[in-house]
Amino acid sequence: MPHRERYLFVCINRRPDGDPKGSCAEKGSEKIADDLKAAIAKLGVQKKIRACRSSCLDLCEIGVSIVVEPDH
């Protein structure tokens, strides 16, 4: 597997309806993950950057969570 300069981990966790924290999926994270993958492909930087779907990153209450590695 090639080593990339950056990995974008997009939370696509979905909590039950009515959960006070909400969830990234209900805030549109699945589309964001798809859009990031498409943008990376359009720019031709797949060997440098990869967008990945992730389980819960535990910050859903503030919006869609994306972790950029290795920058944290």
- pLDDT tens digits, residue range 19-58? 888 899 999 999 999 999 999 999 999 999 999 999 999 8
Percent of the chain predicted with pLDDT > 70? 97
Q: How confident is the model at residue 61 (pLDDT cuts 50, 70, 90)?
A: confident
Contact residues for 25 (Cβ-Cβ < 8 A; gap 6+): 12, 13, 14
Strands of 3-58, DSSP E:
6-11, 49-54
Task: Note the pTM of the prediction, 2 decimals.
Answer: 0.88
Q: Which of 51, 47, 41 is nearest to 7 (CA)?
A: 51
